Amino acid sequence: MTDSTSIAPPAVTANLSSAEGLDLSQFEQVRTEVQAWQTSHGTQVRFVEARQLPMVDLIVRFNAGTSVDGEHSGLAALTMYMLDEGTERLNAEQFAEQTERLGAILSTQIRLEHASLSLRCLSSEVVLAQAVALFTEMLARPAFDAQQLVKVKQQLRAFQSSRYNAAPTRAQSELFSRLYAGHPYAAPLGSTEQGIQALTAQDLRDFHQRAYSANNLQVSIVGDLSRAQAEALVEQLAEALPQGWAAAELPPVSPTSAASAHVPTPAANNTLLLAVPMSGRPSQADYPALVLAADVLGSGFDSRLMQELRQRRGLTYHISCRPSPLKAGGVLAIGWDCAAQYREASRELVAGMLEALVNEGPTNAELELSRRQLSGQLVRSVATNSGLVELLSRGSHQGLPADHLVTYQAQLSAVSARSARQALQEHLDLSRMVTVSLGSDQPQQPLPPLPHSDR
């Protein structure tokens, strides 16, 4: 059982100059050529030929996330975590030995909307062929061995318990249960102890035969191979998988009322999440405006929230704002920690700053700084095979066109203060704001006065 989580790169500091006097805030244009096609099995493919390194990076993303568990909590997660625990031909130890012998790196990731598995290996003909064959065997013919299932259940219960006891993930769970009440998104942790215990090996086999089918799959490849080699690789994979099933579209999220809740825990500080429903989707023309506005509000040291809550008031060490464009209904969420006695005052401050941004929009100077930061993040991501293949996989899942990486910087440049304000007002519903806090419950106090220099 393995898991990986991608972390967004830090924001670029604007207006830096090198020793040679070059303006490092001006980034090169991304010109990555992405090839896209659909196989006869219905598999969606994105591919970039990159000959600089003798490596191949591959991500397969199935529409098999925790939101398709249905009545069987933990089904999607347990199925995915069992894939690398042995195949019909190899037991778990033999599978691990062959993976290590090839020098291949396998990782897995389960989210609300998808299950992703990745392979990284050398591009030499022999190694690539054997690594892809082993990867295909893992995906298409897992053993779901009963003894391994007992072990993985224990690991998954321990993993979920640790996540639930961690303030950020517990806060997200509490937030989503309120924001998405009655919807499959309402349980972002994806598994309960009772659900995990009740699942059988046959349950996993049945789910695998549906969810891990070729036309429920998106494949992204970056590396030292040709288009013909990439096509053959995907055909080999798709041919071996179950056929003919695709996940149904999730129902739209039903509107919920505004709410604020505090969950007492032993922690001295409070962890807070404030969120509002977001209707914007990455495939919509004004979505870059939402991304820029969120960056202005709470991404990086120069963002409004960091400047106000950390620099001026010393209320928190870090605060961030991030849009999550889920298919059935997205969310814009702001997260921070603070002293327990300032929970309500800081919540009111953050809510007011979000409302001000929606009503007034960002300034042109703020947009320019955010454009530079986002452009810099993009350039750094496409510069590595692992970063690029993750961008391809994410873009495919979000329904973005194949040339999205090439056009994204121009889309950011086209955003004005007015269009950003319009996008915020159209896609964010402040009347349904939900706030969740965790930590000790202490008498609330007003915010301390600002230092004299900041008044």
CATH value at residue 387: 3.30.830.10
Q: Using the 8-state DSSP alphabet, how is residue 56 labeled?
A: E
* 304: nearest Cα among 345, 358, 344: 358
Quote the radius of gyration of the chain (alpha carbons, Å).
23
Residues 47 and 175 in one domain: yes
Task: Look at the block and give the residue holding tokens 């318990």.
Answer: 161
Q: Is residue 419 part of a domain?
A: yes
Residues 325 and 411 in one domain: yes
Tell me how far CA of residue 252 lies from CA of 184, 329, 330, 333, 434, in angstroms. Answer: 10, 7, 10, 19, 18
Q: Is residue 232 part of a domain?
A: yes
Residues 349 and 413 in one domain: yes
* 161: nearest Cα among 130, 189, 200: 189
- Tell me what percent of the chain is helix, strand and coil, each rounded to the nearest 5: 45, 20, 35
Domain, as residue range, for 422 = 259-439
Longest C-alpha distance within the chain, in Å?
A: 72
Residue 115: its H or E element:
strand 115-122
Rounded Cα gap, residues 319 and 335, in angstroms: 6
Residues 233 and 266 in one domain: no
Residues 285 and 180 in one domain: no
Q: Is residue 374 part of a domain?
A: yes
Residues 267 and 231 in one domain: no
Rounded Cα gap, residues 205 and 284, in angstroms: 37
Q: Is residue 6 part of a domain?
A: no
Q: Using the 8-state DSSP alphabet, how is residue 17 labeled?
A: B
pLDDT at 22: 36
Torsion of Cα atoms, 249 then 254 then 258 then 259, to 10°: -70
Residues 317 and 394 in one domain: yes
Rounded Cα gap, residues 412 and 334, in angstroms: 22
Of 170, 205, 240, which residue is a domain's last? 240
Residues 61 and 197 in one domain: yes
Torsion of Cα atoms, 63 then 145 then 142 then 206, to 10°: -50
Rounded Cα gap, residues 386 and 237, in angstroms: 20
Residue 204 CB partners (closer than 8 Å, separation 6+):
75, 78, 79, 82, 144, 149
Q: Is residue 19 part of a domain?
A: no
Residues 109 and 222 in one domain: yes
Residues 207 and 332 in one domain: no
Residues 220 and 367 in one domain: no
The rounded Cα 412 to chain-centroid distance in angstroms is 21
Q: Is residue 78 part of a domain?
A: yes
Residues 39 and 152 in one domain: yes
| Residues 277 and 252 sit within 8 Å (Cβ to Cβ) | no
Number of domains the chain is built from: 2
* 221: nearest Cα among 126, 131, 327: 131
Q: Is residue 131 part of a domain?
A: yes
Q: Is residue 335 part of a domain?
A: yes
Let me know if 398 is exposed, middle or buried by CB neighbors in 10 A (0-12, 13-18, 19+): middle
Of 209, 240, 271, which residue is a domain's last? 240
Can you name the residues that pair with 37 across neighbouring β-strands?
45
pLDDT in tens, the chain (455 residues): 533 333 233 333 333 333 333 343 566 899 999 999 999 999 999 999 999 999 999 999 999 999 999 899 999 999 999 999 999 999 999 999 999 999 999 999 999 999 999 999 999 999 999 999 999 999 999 999 999 999 999 999 999 999 889 999 999 999 999 999 999 999 988 888 999 999 999 999 999 999 999 999 999 999 999 999 999 999 999 999 999 887 888 999 999 999 999 999 999 999 999 999 999 999 999 999 999 999 999 998 999 999 999 999 999 999 999 999 999 999 999 999 999 999 999 999 999 999 999 999 999 999 999 999 999 999 999 999 999 999 999 999 999 999 999 999 999 999 999 999 999 999 999 999 999 999 999 999 999 998 766 55
pLDDT at 455: 57
pLDDT at 18: 31
DSSP-based three-state secondary structure for 143:
coil
Planar angle of CA 345, 348, 351, nearest 5 degrees: 150
